[in-house]
């Protein structure tokens, strides 16, 4: 079940000095009511860090953002939905034009702007509508709940709900805020998925440690979700830190650094979990926890295999306690374990039921099992009796709607 985390309002605007906006400029030509361009701006230069897709085929905005991260003093992120600007004519040129348009309207250098895109691959980006819309986007910049909401909606594609969270904590004697927005619903697999995530914080932290913190947190959140086994060309997770909270700058792996990582993890955990729950066509969030592993790595590989199993996902969709599919997925994960020491349970808000003990099926109440699996959030709990380590990963069921959504996604 979801751990209880105290959140605050504001999203990417929760941190001091950050403003945001989102509007429709015409990238999405088929849906004039849907926002398709987002902007996040800091009033002060930021330390910045990012993680990107592991796919060898990478979209043009990733190349541009990687180059701009080397300059330091980042001021803004501009992002569009409706077109991935991946494998597209004049891709890098158009990504740079997006940065230049935002920079001109904000009053900074193009190299101080990061860029991201999401949507259909291979089509030329209508960068002219972005350039013409940039001044209005800057005019709409605010530090408000509504502004973060607008930016969150502007990066959505097949998402059915926005992904937006923020938290606060006392670090170094000062109140520090961390907020984030994200998009992701399909083409989601460990090592990032078709996701964009933009994080902001007013914490003062060095760029080096900010990158280390982001890498550490991504590994245990965004890299532990799967919807359909596909890894996108555009995955980007960026964090900007402007230091306006006034805490002593974090430059070592001190208690302040640990506190910062814990709060960053909370935001990314909530965002990652909401992506898995909002999988294209999904009706169930699947949480798989493997306990009693010899190492966290072993537990992670096994849990990922279970949440990625098409047959397991189909069983959960059908509310069928077909636990044999769970063991099957564990068995081809690549990790070695003793099948005769495996226990499997299904759980939800409707209860919990043990279906497999020591690798053998049990006589269990099928009606209770179906009732448990009918809930929209289902846990698969596995114990392998190999050690003391554990790992949790998140996925979703697969439904008829997934095929419908992706069968005509481009047209």
Rounded mean pLDDT, 88-112: 97
The tokens for 76 are: 């803004």
Q: Does one domain contain both 114 and 221?
A: yes
Q: CA torsion, points 312, 313, 318, 320, in degrees to nearest 10?
A: 30
Last residue of a domain, one of 277, 308, 341: 277
Q: Does one domain contain both 273 and 378?
A: no
Find tokens 């599919």 and name the residue: 325
CATH number of the domain within which 50 lies:
3.60.70.12
Q: What is the count of structural domains for the chain?
A: 2
pLDDT of residue 405: 63
234: in domain: yes
194 is catalytic: yes
CA–CA distance, 121 with 194 (Å, rounded to integer): 11
Q: Does one domain contain both 301 and 264?
A: no
pTM for the model: 0.91
Q: Does one domain contain both 221 and 354?
A: no
CATH number of the domain within which 328 lies:
3.10.20.340
Extract the runs of DSSP E, i.e. beta strands, from 131-224. 163-171, 174-183, 196-201
211: in domain: yes
Residue ranges making up the domain that contains 354: 285-407
Tell whether the model's pLDDT for residue 261 goes beyond 60: yes
Last residue of a domain, one of 235, 252, 277: 277
pLDDT band at 157 (very low <50, low <70, confident <90, very high): confident
Q: Does one domain contain both 312 and 272?
A: no
pLDDT of residue 398: 81
Q: Does one domain contain both 142 and 201?
A: yes
153 contacts: CB under 8 Å, gap ≥ 6: 22, 34, 35, 162
Last residue of a domain, one of 277, 301, 327: 277
Tell whether the model's pLDDT for residue 43 goes beyond 70: yes
6: in domain: no
Q: Does one domain contain both 210 and 334?
A: no
Q: Does one domain contain both 18 and 124?
A: yes
Among the listed residues 53, 157, 158, 194, the single catalytic one is 194
4: in domain: no
For the chain, give the percent of residues with pLDDT over 90.
Answer: 82
């Amino acid at each position: 079940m979801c751990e209880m985390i105290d959140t605050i309002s504001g999203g990417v605007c929760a941190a001091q000095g950050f403003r945001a906006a989102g509007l429709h400029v015409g990238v999405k030509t088929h849906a004039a009511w849907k926002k398709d361009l987002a902007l996040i701006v800091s009033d002060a230069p930021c330390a910045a860090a990012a993680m990107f897709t592991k796919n060898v085929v990478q979209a043009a905005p990733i190349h541009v953002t990687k180059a701009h991260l080397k300059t330091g003093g980042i001021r803004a992120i501009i992002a569009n939905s409706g077109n991935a600007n991946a494998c597209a004519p004049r891709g890098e040129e158009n990504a740079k034009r997006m940065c230049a348009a935002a920079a001109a309207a904000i009053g900074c250098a193009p190299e101080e702007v990061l860029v991201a895109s999401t949507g259909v691959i291979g089509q030329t980006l209508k960068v002219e509508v972005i350039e013409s819309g940039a001044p209005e986007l800057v005019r709409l910049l605010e530090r408000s709940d509504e502004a973060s909401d607008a930016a969150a909606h502007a990066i959505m594609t097949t998402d059915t709900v926005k992904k937006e969270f923020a938290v606060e904590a006392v670090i170094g004697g000062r109140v520090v805020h961390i907020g984030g927005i994200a998009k992701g619903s399909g083409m989601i697999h460990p090592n990032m998925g078709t996701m964009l995530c933009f994080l902001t914080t007013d914490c003062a932290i060095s760029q080096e440690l900010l990158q280390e913190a982001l890498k550490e947190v991504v590994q245990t959140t965004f890299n532990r979700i799967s919807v359909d086994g596909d890894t996108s060309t555009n995955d980007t997770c960026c964090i900007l830190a402007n230091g306006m909270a006034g805490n002593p700058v974090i430059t070592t792996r001190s208690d302040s650094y640990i506190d910062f990582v814990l709060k960053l993890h909370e935001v990314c955990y909530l965002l990652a979990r909401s992506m898995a729950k909002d999988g294209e066509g999904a009706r169930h969030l699947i949480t798989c926890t493997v306990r009693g592993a010899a190492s966290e790595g072993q537990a992670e590989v096994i849990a990922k295999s279970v949440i990625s199993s098409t047959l397991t996902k189909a069983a959960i969709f059908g509310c069928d306690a077909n636990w044999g599919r769970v063991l099957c997925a564990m068995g081809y994960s690549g990790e070695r374990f003793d099948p005769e020491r495996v226990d499997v349970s299904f759980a939800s808000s409707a209860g919990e039921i043990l279906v497999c003990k020591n690798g053998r099926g049990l006589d269990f109440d099928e009606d209770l099992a179906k009732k448990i699996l009918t809930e929209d959030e289902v846990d698969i709990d596995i114990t392998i009796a190999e050690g003391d380590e554990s790992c949790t990963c998140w996925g979703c069921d697969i439904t008829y709607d997934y095929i419908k959504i992706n069968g005509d996604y481009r047209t």
